[in-house]
Every structure is written in C-alpha cells, then in structure tokens.
C-alpha cells in the first residue's frame, strides 16, 4: 500500500504563512507579484494551465519531489494537505509520462488543495476538466508514471527552474506561475501598494492617449 511505502521521506516540520498573508496576495495578477518581488521567481514559461477557465489560484506550497517518471511523492503529499494548499511536484522536467491524472487531482481537491503545479506532464484532460482543480503543467501525455520512489515531501525543490519550499506562496494565472518565498512575503505585501499605484497611473495615461513612456520622451 502507498501509505506503508518505506521510500517516502516527509519533512519533520512544514512552515506556513498566516491566513492574513495569504489573503493579501489573493486575486493578484502574476505581473504585479513579480514587480513586487523586483523580478524573478517565475517558473518555466511553458508551465501553463491545462484547462481554459481553470487558470488562476493563490495558495501555499506543499513540495513533492517526484523525480523523473514517478509520482509516489504526490501520493505522499496528500495526507499533509490543508485547505488552501498547492501541490508543487518536481519531475526534473521529465515529459515522457504524466505526473498525475484526474483521479489524483480529485483526491488533492478533496484534501483541500486549490491548485497543482508540475514541471512535467499530466493526463486525463476530460476528467481534469470535471475535477475543477486548476492544474498547471508543461504538457499532456497519456503515458503512466511509476509509483516506486524514492519520494520526498516537504523538502526544498526546484520546479520549472524556480526554487520552491513548503510554505512559499504560489500565485498562478494564464501568464504563468510565480513563487513568493516565505521569507519575502511581508516585503511583497508592503510593495504592492506602490505596484498598484504605478500600474493605475500608467493605465490612465495610456487610455488618455500616451504614445511614449517618460524615459523615451525627449
């Protein structure tokens, strides 16, 4: 049985942001979050929503280190999910088989997950559409993964070129996926007012007929 498998290692502690910190980042465009981070912390541009309309979420990362062609770590993450969490599954960019399908995503949803992200592939598109859990991946393939491990849950990973630790906040929308490191959450929240104000000012100027930004004007 998966729950008795000795090849799953689970971190002894899993830090989490406060509900207030998470709420402060809800509903933001990824571009605003990147600007508040002063750049970077984005995953590979190919990691995109696999179902149109199920393409945005904000939640707390639970890391799943699967390795290529295996998904035991995703099963290992399920018992540790709390409402508002996001499974971030690293497959080291392997695209030869899927990391999950609709049934695993349905179990993640049932355990409170608000999203799933992988730098690999997924499968069962009709079923995923029915599950309704936003799922971001590099691609889609029907091939089945192994469930042999070794697997790690809750440890730092790299997913789509971005460092992710359990407790980081993941913000995703049709533009892609951004990782807000746990230690920078308050900094990002503090900078958001500046980002919003700058965006609103430029938006108003463009709608009023602005043809060049100030740095291009002579």
Cα 153 to chain centroid, rounded: 15
Q: What is the dihedral of CA 53, 56, 62, 66, to 10 degrees?
A: 50
Residue at 91 is within a domain: yes
Structural domain for 202, as ranges: 2-210
pLDDT in tens, the chain (218 residues): 445 545 899 999 999 999 999 999 999 999 999 999 998 899 999 999 999 999 999 999 999 999 999 999 999 999 999 999 999 999 999 999 999 999 999 999 999 999 999 999 999 999 999 999 999 999 999 999 999 989 999 999 999 999 999 999 999 999 999 999 999 999 999 999 999 888 888 888 888 887 787 788 76
Residue 2: per-residue pLDDT: 46
Residue 4: per-residue pLDDT: 54
C-alpha 117/C-alpha 83 separation (Å) is 16
Residue at 215 is within a domain: no
C-alpha 197/C-alpha 177 separation (Å) is 23
Residue at 218 is within a domain: no
CATH of the domain at 193: 3.50.30.40
Residue 1: per-residue pLDDT: 40
Residue at 124 is within a domain: yes
| Tokens representing residue 88 in the block | 């971030």
- Split into its structural domains, the chain has a count of 1
Residue at 25 is within a domain: yes
Residue at 216 is within a domain: no
Residue at 217 is within a domain: no
Residue at 15 is within a domain: yes
Residue 208: per-residue pLDDT: 83
């Amino acid at each position: 049985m998966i729950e008795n498998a000795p090849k799953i290692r689970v971190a002894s502690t899993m830090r989490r942001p406060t509900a207030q910190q998470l709420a402060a980042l809800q509903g933001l465009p990824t571009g605003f979050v990147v600007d508040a981070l002063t750049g970077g912390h984005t995953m590979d541009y190919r990691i995109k929503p696999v179902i149109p309309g199920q393409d945005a979420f904000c939640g707390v990362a639970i890391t799943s280190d699967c390795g290529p062609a295996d998904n035991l770590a995703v099963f290992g993450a399920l018992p540790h999910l709390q409402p508002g969490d996001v499974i971030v599954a690293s497959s080291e960019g392997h695209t030869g088989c899927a990391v999950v399908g609709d049934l695993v995503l349905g179990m993640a949803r049932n355990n409170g997950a608000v999203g799933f992200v992988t730098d690999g592939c997924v499968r069962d598109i009709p079923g995923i559409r029915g599950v309704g859990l936003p799922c971001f991946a590099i691609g889609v393939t029907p091939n089945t993964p192994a469930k042999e491990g070794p697997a790690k849950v809750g440890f730092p990973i790299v997913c789509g070129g971005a460092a992710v630790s359990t407790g980081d906040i993941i913000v995703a929308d049709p533009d892609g996926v951004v990782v807000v490191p746990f230690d920078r959450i308050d900094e990002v929240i503090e900078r958001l007012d500046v980002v919003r104000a700058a965006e609103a000012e430029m938006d108003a100027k463009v709608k009023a007929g602005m043809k060049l930004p100030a740095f291009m004007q002579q």
